[in-house]
Amino acid sequence: MSLLDVTGLSIRYDGQAVVDGVDLFVERGESVGLVGESGSGKSQSALAILGLLPARAQVSGSIEFDGQQVLGADDALLDRLRARRIGMVFQDPMQALNPYLRIGVQLRQVLVAHGLAAGRDADARVIEALTRVRLPDPERQFRAFPHELSGGMRQRVMIASALIAGPDLLIADEPTTALDVTVQAQILELLEEIRDNTALLLITHDLGIVAGHCEHMIVLEKGRLVDAGPTTSVFASPRHAHTRTLLEAAPRVDRGEVPAPVDGRTLLAVEAASVQYRDRGGALLDAVNDVSFAVRQGETVAVVGESGSGKSSLVRAMLGLVPMASGKVVYAGEPLEGPVQHRARERRRDLQLVFQDPVSALNPQMRVRSIIEEPLLVHEKGIGSAERLGRVTAMLDKVGLEAAFLTRYPHELSGGQAQRVAIARALVLEPRILVCDEAVAALDGSVRKQVLDVLRSVQDEAGLSIIFISHDLAVVRSISHRVLVMYAGRLVEVAGNDDLFASPLHPYTRALIDSVPVPDPVVAPKAAPLRGETPSLIDPPSGCVFHPRCPRSDETCASKRPRLREIRGTRVACHYPLDR
Amino acid sequence: MLRYTLLRILGAIPTLLLVIALAFLMVHAAPGGPFDEERVLPPEVEANIEAHYNLDEPLPKQFLRYLVGLTRGDLGPSYRYRGHTVSELIGTSFPNSLKLGALAIVIALLLGVGGGTYAALRQGAFADRFVMGLSMTGISIPVFVVAPVLVLLFAVNLQWLPAGWSGTEGVGRYVLPVITLALPQIAYIARLTRASMIDVLARDFVRTARAQGLGTLRVIRVHAIKPAMLPVLSYMGPAIAGIITGSVVVEEIFGIPGVGQLFVRGAMNRDYTLVLGVVVFYASLIVAFNLIVDILYAVIDPRVRYR
């Protein structure tokens, strides 16, 4: 008998099926990956197992846990299973932990509610659980509120809360999606290590995570099960077309074609840019510290780094959206100065921006036609409405949308369609530089591929330069010509795509690349390559900002700040660069 | 937290000064004087009286004198109740108003929060609609209608409770005035609680707590009630103001010798120092209460402390 046996699970809302006849089982101690794009029904299935679906969901089929029917069970039975037999880790630990309660209180409630411990005994067990998930200084975090912890630490707390009552099954719903890639690697490693004999049902959109951490996998598409089996055989011979699409759409950080270097003239140069903010306490914070780079005509330059590395601040300062503390921007041989609203109109049209979340970047009250038309009304007052419509339609066609979309409102678009509209709006003025700030981060794999294809084709046609901010190294590898790696506001390495991914010189770059899960079960996952998290920008480490986490650091690194120097065409800021 | 508290207290001082200045100006801008009568007084007598109460001084000087008095808790002499100071008058009548108001607030919180939470848990069901319908009625009917209707029903027809204050003893005489005062507040707090509880119950951390098998009651008690109470807490400032306003009407209708009645009498008699004194007293009370609410807010929501 399987530990978890789900047969013919269907979930409907107002008659509309979001999960349709799904079978899945988890044996004791094994790890199963549940994979699919957004809307595939993977999270809904998990919530059904714990009886957490809203009352209006119509659920049918059978969910047996350890021989006991869970579907339709009353709350008393479910409450005995929850946490005690089935632990749950949710995606975003900032939302999933109660911001009004101290960490310790939240965890001890689990023990108290299940009658496992009380009083000092419960406190001791909570501290023990926090120690197990390797939370630094557990006694202090016991008294901390969630907002006082970093994202990675919060997810450790979440895992501790899911395992504290010793469940037989752990369900983890996108447990690392909100985290930086090095922290993701740490969390996945932790999950492997501490779950012992607890079975794992891991829900994710990331095939790399499944390949590295699950023995079996199940692929869902639009609520239906399309593929299932041992992970190695599904990867080796996917039965269903959708599985193949998913596998093909997943770019790899370790292989595949990379764009050849571009040899155009320099279009834009940022020289010694620094950006500073004040935090709420009034302390000065170095978001960007002395960064220089150049973009050539027709080139895609990627800016990568973890959250807080300053990549967005750098580009926003360049665009004049936030003030630059020092440094300058030279565009086409002329200086670009001051905030964006003071810049000449022709200069503004040459640089356009696409944001991460297309839904909030588009005015919900405007139709697609007006959205794309608006920049033309500002910048090309001379043209008539017929010509404008022509330009808008042509632009829509270029991003792969039909003219029927002209009259749609943003809420009627899918995420990928909305992002293509945002790109069309940015490109309708024929800018020379397009800045994409995590522009594909919110999109599913297959849709992301379409959007990246649109960007590539526009670049080929019009010689567009692209500045591509991303935390996703696999995507960066597939699209960029050159890569800037930032850490704690500093530039640590600048290299051509091929050099950077094949043989990075900076230990941080190496660690970043090694942290990316590879969608191939044959490639063994590397142990989490980096400990710790990104440092505070108010009081950054002395010398090399990376030295506290660096495996190669010594006293020199702790005392002397490394300058960017050129080694065989790569610029790197490290006292002890890796060999090539 | 200490820093936050001190900042809040400092922030309340200008508000209070502004309220006192406005009240002072308004009272002095009112036409006529406290000693205007049908019978015209001889000018010498009038000048004497004005000099006695310092009314012949320029306005800014009078205001300063008033402020100095305030620091000692002196609200000046009453113009009508000869031989009594305003502080004395408020001091003797406030206990009655305080009992009424405090009872009304406590009842409003208990019933409002309870009813609102219950409705939130039964969202869309009959119980929810019933509670919400009832509370809409409570909000819609003004105090000066509720009070006579209650008196008619429970005092005159059923004869369960006394209709007025004087000549009665015991708890019975509190019931109708307190209900009258509490009713709109119960209704409003119930609606606030329901809306914010529904909002909180849909948050991710509540789902986490349910996934931990905490059970509905524990989820509400441990996780949901604190954040759900934030809007209710914010409303406590206006609620006190509402109770005070209501008490002016209620005390008059039931004949209760409280501050509200004092205020009405003062206004009728052109007893300007009394009116001013009550306004300043109640304004300080409301400012102080809002201060406490702000501090409690930071106690519940740890993130506020850092702002």
Contact A485, A492 (CB under 8 A): yes
- Give the pLDDT band of residue B48 (cuts 50, 70, 90): confident
Q: Which residues of chain A have pLDDT under 50?
A: none
Number of CB atoms found within 10 A of residue A230's CB:
13
Are residues A89 and A43 part of one domain?
yes
A144 touches chain B (CB under 8 A): no
Q: In what order do the strands lie in the sheet with A199-204?
A: A86-89, A169-173, A199-204, A31-35, A216-221, A224-230
Domain range for residue A54?
4-249
Element (H, E) at B204: helix B204-211
The structure tokens listed for B302 are 């740890």
A157 is a domain residue: yes
CA A6 to chain centre: 30
Residue in chain A nearest B226 by alpha carbon? A100
Q: How distant is the Cα of A95 from the closest Cα of chain B, in angstroms? A: 6
- With beta carbons under 8 A apart, name residues in chain A contacting B216: 75
A563 is a domain residue: no
Cα→Cα distances B191→B138, B185, B237, Å: 11, 10, 17
Best residue of A47, A100, A116, A159 to probe chain B, by most B CBs closer than 10 Å: A100
Q: How distant is the Cα of A72 from the closest Cα of chain B, in angstroms? A: 16
The structure tokens listed for A112 are 């108290």
Q: What's A417-473 look like in SS3?
A: HHHHHHHHHHHCCCCCEEEEECCCCCCCHHHHHHHHHHHHHHHHHHCCEEEEEECCH
Predicted pLDDT of residue A568: 86
A561 is a domain residue: no
Are residues A238 and A281 part of one domain?
no
Predicted pLDDT of residue A221: 93
Are residues A480 and A402 part of one domain?
yes
Predicted pLDDT of residue B35: 67
Are residues A169 and A238 part of one domain?
yes
What's the mean pLDDT in B130-149? Answer: 86
- With beta carbons under 8 A apart, name residues in chain B contacting A74: none
Interface of B to A at Cβ within 8 Å reads 203-205, 207-216, 218, 222-223, 226-227, 300-303, 306-307
Residue in chain B nearest A109 by alpha carbon? B214
Are residues A173 and A37 part of one domain?
yes
Spatial distance between the Cα atoms of B261 and B258, rounded to a whole number of angstroms = 5
A396 touches chain B (CB under 8 A): no
A528 is a domain residue: no
A301 is a domain residue: yes
A347 is a domain residue: yes
Element (H, E) at B288: helix B272-300
Cβ contact B204–A95 (<8 Å): yes
A85 touches chain B (CB under 8 A): no
A283 touches chain B (CB under 8 A): no
Are residues A314 and A213 part of one domain?
no
Are residues A228 and A358 part of one domain?
no
Predicted pLDDT of residue B194: 95
Predicted pLDDT of residue B39: 64
Number of CB atoms found within 10 A of residue B284's CB:
15
Q: What percent of chain B shows pLDDT beyond 90?
A: 28
Residue in chain A nearest B122 by alpha carbon? A55
Best residue of B4, B7, B205, B226 to probe chain A, by most A CBs closer than 10 Å: B205
What is residue A23's three-state secondary structure? Answer: strand
Q: Per-residue pLDDT tens for B89-139?
A: 898 889 889 999 999 999 999 999 999 999 999 888 888 998 889 888 888
DSSP letters for A131-155: HHTT-SSHHHHHT--GGGS-HHHHH
Cβ contact B213–A95 (<8 Å): no
Contact A379, A349 (CB under 8 A): yes
* Geometric angle at alpha carbon B8, from B4 and B13, rounded to 5°: 155
A140 is a domain residue: yes
Cβ contact A109–B212 (<8 Å): yes
B213: nearest CB among A79, A147, A158:
A79
Q: How distant is the Cα of A461 from the closest Cα of chain B, in angstroms? A: 46
The dihedral region occupied by B57, where left means phi > 0, alpha psi between -120 and 50, and beta the remainder, is beta
Are residues A30 and A143 part of one domain?
yes
What's the mean pLDDT in B237-246? Answer: 88
Spatial distance between the Cα atoms of B198 and B227, rounded to a whole number of angstroms = 11
A96: nearest CB among B208, B214, B302:
B208
Cα→Cα distances A81→A75, A244, A482, Å: 10, 37, 52
Q: How distant is the Cα of B300 from the closest Cα of chain A, in angstroms? A: 7
Q: How distant is the Cα of B210 from the closest Cα of chain A, in angstroms? A: 8
Best residue of A49, A65, A79, A98 to probe chain B, by most B CBs closer than 10 Å: A98
CA A541 to chain centre: 26
Contact B276, B27 (CB under 8 A): yes
Residue type, B213: G
Cβ contact A90–B207 (<8 Å): yes
Structural domains of chain B, ranges and CATH numbers in brackets: 93-306 (1.10.3720.10)
Decide which of A192, A223, A249 is a domain's last residue.
Answer: A249
Q: In what order do the strands lie in the sheet with A68-69?
A: A16-26, A4-13, A58-65, A68-69
Decide which of A436, A466, A501 is a domain's last residue.
Answer: A501
The structure tokens listed for A349 are 């049209």
Predicted pLDDT of residue A444: 85
Give the list of residues 6+ apart from residue A170 with CB closer than 8 angstroms, or none. Answer: A86, A87, A88, A89, A162, A163, A191, A195, A198, A199, A200, A201
Contact A33, A217 (CB under 8 A): yes
The number of domains in chain A is 2
Are residues A370 and A339 part of one domain?
yes
| Nearest of A196, A124, A133, A128 to residue A159 by alpha carbon | A133
A10 touches chain B (CB under 8 A): no
Spatial distance between the Cα atoms of A372 and A377, rounded to a whole number of angstroms = 10
A342 touches chain B (CB under 8 A): no
Q: Where are the alpha helices (DSSP H) in A33-175?
A: 42-49, 75-81, 93-96, 103-113, 119-132, 138-142, 151-163
Predicted pLDDT of residue B306: 57
Predicted pLDDT of residue B307: 47
What is residue A245's three-state secondary structure? Answer: helix
Task: Specify burial of residue A402 (Cβ count, 10 A radius: 0-12, 13-18, 19+).
Answer: exposed
Q: Per-residue pLDDT tens for A413-427?
A: 888 889 999 999 999
| Nearest of A492, A516, A486, A490 to residue A506 by alpha carbon | A492
Instruction: Give the gyration radius of chain B's Cα atoms.
Output: 24
Spatial distance between the Cα atoms of A108 and A115, rounded to a whole number of angstroms = 11
- With beta carbons under 8 A apart, name residues in chain B contacting A52: 207, 210-211
CATH number at residue A9: 3.40.50.300
DSSP letters for B107-149: HHHHHHHHHHHHHHHTTTSHHHHHHHHHHHHHHHS-HHHHHHH
Query: For residues A10 and B151, which has the higher predicted lDDT (pLDDT)?
Result: A10
- With beta carbons under 8 A apart, name residues in chain B contacting A88: 208, 211-212
Decide which of A501, A521, A552 is a domain's last residue.
Answer: A501
Partnered with residue A274 across adjacent β-strands are A326
Beta strands in A189-333 (DSSP E): 199-204, 216-221, 224-230, 266-278, 284-296, 300-304, 326-331
Element (H, E) at B289: helix B272-300
Q: How distant is the Cα of B128 from the closest Cα of chain A, in angstroms? A: 16
Cα→Cα distances B37→A511, B32, B271, Å: 92, 10, 13
Spatial distance between the Cα atoms of A116 and A102, rounded to a whole number of angstroms = 20
A334 is a domain residue: yes
A100: nearest CB among B214, B216, B300:
B300
Cα→Cα distances A579→A362, A501, A513, A574, B135, Å: 47, 13, 16, 12, 75
Predicted pLDDT of residue B167: 67
Cβ contact A97–B209 (<8 Å): no
A346 touches chain B (CB under 8 A): no
Partnered with residue A33 across adjacent β-strands are A202, A217
Contact A198, A226 (CB under 8 A): no
- With beta carbons under 8 A apart, name residues in chain A contacting B7: none
A92 touches chain B (CB under 8 A): yes
Are residues A497 and A392 part of one domain?
yes
A321 touches chain B (CB under 8 A): no
Are residues A113 and A48 part of one domain?
yes
Residue type, B121: L
What's the mean pLDDT in B218-241? Answer: 92
CA A433 to chain centre: 24
Q: How distant is the Cα of B96 from the closest Cα of chain A, in angstroms? A: 38
Residue type, A404: A
- With beta carbons under 8 A apart, name residues in chain B contacting A166: none
Q: Per-residue pLDDT tens for A250-261?
A: 888 888 788 888
- Give the pLDDT band of residue B163 (cuts 50, 70, 90): confident
| Nearest of A224, A222, A221 to residue A243 by alpha carbon | A221
Are residues A245 and A276 part of one domain?
no
What is residue A230's three-state secondary structure? Answer: strand
Cβ contact B215–A80 (<8 Å): no
Give the list of residues 6+ apart from residue A54 with CB closer than 8 angstroms, or none. Answer: none
B227: nearest CB among A90, A97, A100:
A100
B223: nearest CB among A75, A88, A98:
A98
Q: Per-residue pLDDT tens for B262-306?
A: 898 888 888 888 888 999 999 888 888 888 998 888 888 887 765
CA B30 to chain centre: 25
Spatial distance between the Cα atoms of B60 and A82, rounded to a whole number of angstroms = 70
